[in-house]
Chain A
Amino acid sequence: MQEEIIKNIILGEEEDYLINVGPQHPSTHGVLRFEVSLQGETIKKVVPHCGYIHRGIEKMCERDTYPQIIHLTDRMDYLSAHMNNEAVCLCVEKAMEVEVPERVTHVRTMLDELTRIASHQLWWCAMGMDMGALTTFFYGLRDREHILDIFEESFGTRLIQSVNTPGGLMQDIHPGFQKRVKEFISYFRKKLPEYDQLLTDNVIFRERSEGIAPLSREDAIQYGVTGPSGRASGFSCDVRKSEPYGIYKKLNFKEILRTEGDTLARYKVRIGEMYESMNILEQLVDNIPEGDYTAKMKAVLRLPVGEFFQRVETSRGELGVYIVSDGNKTPYRVKFRAPNFSNLFVISKLAPGYKIADLIAISGSLDLVIPDIDR
């Protein structure tokens, strides 16, 4: 059907109409511009333009020491700030061959999953709101507040924690951490089915998402679409499974995979991941090992000469940290393989043939965070 529509459009090629969605458009969730060629209401071509908030984080990293770099990575994908921090820490620890206390890997994994739930909650709010269901925004933010309170109690920060440092954590968790996490899980287990009642089974939502913009598994791999968006197409890309870090190897969890690859599948994978993250948290919360919250590290960190690569699963896909060291206290080159960067460009493949209103649903289902693209 998509091919047929595209064919029809090309016949009337001279009549297309060009509009810009963004850079200041609420549905782009940041400063991103889509140049959309339309015929009537049907999309013919989408060209994403980025760079409005390019800060040159990779260049700044060449100037900063390793503990300083961590605070820049927060500002890439701010909704998976903890995973970004962890990726750099793991890479530095691997390079320096530091043994991290068990307590640290344990707590880091718990924070990973809490961050993942918080991120998916915010995505769910925004996805509903993009499609005209404002109520979801209040429901989602209400529940996300519980996680942010846990972070605030332990580390004093809410959105970006910056609690990781090479070798461990900056500070220990609050004594009430376990109790708060348990309270949150029992609370959210009751609330999560509400999400399905409110939005997933809504007729209007279904009509606008089911069968819209399907992405095949081959295309997902070709475009490097990872994270929930890739898994919705059946591309098994979970780094927690394929190259386990932290204590994911010992944990028992499922990788949520679907085969349809449409907007609804991308939505359902994320809902499923929230359940799965709660399962992981339940396995972890009762047996946090005692011990130090950081390994003994030197005051000035110097990595051995060489190149190091660390892959981490953030809430949006695969983050790769590539550090080239020449033996100094600052890296020679740092590259971040950002998940959103690859996920963005698939939109020019997905959107043509669908209506302009679908573009908002499609970009919502890809769950883009723009600072991660621009870096």
Chain B
Amino acid sequence: MENNLLKQHLEGLLPEAVFAENKQYTEVLVPSDKLHAFCERLKASPELQFDYLISLTAVDWTDHFMLVCHITSTAFRHVLVVKSRIDDKEKPVADTLSDVWKTAEFHEREVYDLFGIRFRNHPDLRRLFLDDDYGFPLRKDFTDETRMIVK
């Protein structure tokens, strides 16, 4: 789908959505309390049909976290980047997307494991790779003097 047409559809779904500059894909920033409802609508909308979540991850920008989802439609092949800002660094929480796309359940477990972001209503939020007391290694302030070489 054309970039402009896609933007028009998205504005119709969520007027608060902010579009960002991205050379490759259309990128949209969504308030974190609207993320779940927005994603549900993206999937259900017959013109968009975003039914396949490619990847869900987070980025630590030291003063806030950014959730980044790459989603696509198996029917139309257009790709969309959905971002959501989490401001609370002490107890970061986001709504789970696992009821929209099942694969998000495991991507979210990975994000929880490596960033410590909790997901509300997640069916099985356990650590995926690391021990319970390990800390959250992909946070920028993480250090592990015994096992990590810090340059």
Contacts and interface: CB of A to CB of B under 8 A. Distances in A.
A311 B54 contact: yes
Interface stretch (A138-146, A151-159, A221-229, A284-292): A221-229
B102 A222 contact: yes
A56 interface: yes
Given A51-B129, A322-B55, A222 B103 contact: yes
A23 B59 CA distance: 31
Nearest to B77: A242
Contacts of A311: 54
Chain B facing A: main interface SS: loop
Interface stretch (A70-78, A105-113, A165-173, A329-337): A329-337
A86 B29 CA distance: 30
Interface residues of B, number: 33
Nearest to B52: A221
B138 A59 contact: yes
Contact of B60 (A50, A219, A333): A333
A237 interface: yes
A310 to B, nearest CB: 9
Given A224-B54, A333-B60, A236 B129 contact: no
Nearest to A47: B124
Interface in B66-103: 68, 70, 74, 77, 79, 81, 101-103
Contacts of B59: 324, 332-333
Nearest to A320: B55
Given A51-B129, A307-B22, A56 B137 contact: yes
A309 B70 contact: yes
A235 B74 contact: yes
A134 to B, nearest CB: 34
Nearest to A58: B138
Contacts of B74: 221, 235-237
B60 A322 contact: no
Contacts of B77: 242-243
Contacts of A358: none
A320 B70 contact: yes
A309 B68 CA distance: 11
A309 B103 contact: no
A374 B23 CA distance: 31
Contact of B24 (A219, A222, A308, A341): A308
Contacts of B25: 309
B66 to A, nearest CB: 9
A191 interface: no
A245 interface: no
Interface in A39-88: 50-51, 54, 56, 58-59, 63
B128 A322 contact: no
B26 interface: no
B129 A374 contact: yes
Interface in A224-257: 224, 235-237, 242-243
A49 to B, nearest CB: 9
B129 A322 contact: no
23 contacts: A50-B128, A50-B129, A51-B128, A51-B130, A56-B137, A94-B24, A222-B101, A222-B103, A223-B102, A224-B52, A224-B53, A224-B102, A224-B103, A306-B23, A307-B81, A308-B24, A309-B24, A322-B68, A333-B138, A335-B68, A337-B70, A342-B103, A345-B106
Given A309-B24, A333-B59, 11 more contacts: A51-B128, A51-B130, A224-B53, A224-B54, A306-B22, A307-B81, A308-B24, A322-B55, A322-B57, A322-B68, A335-B68
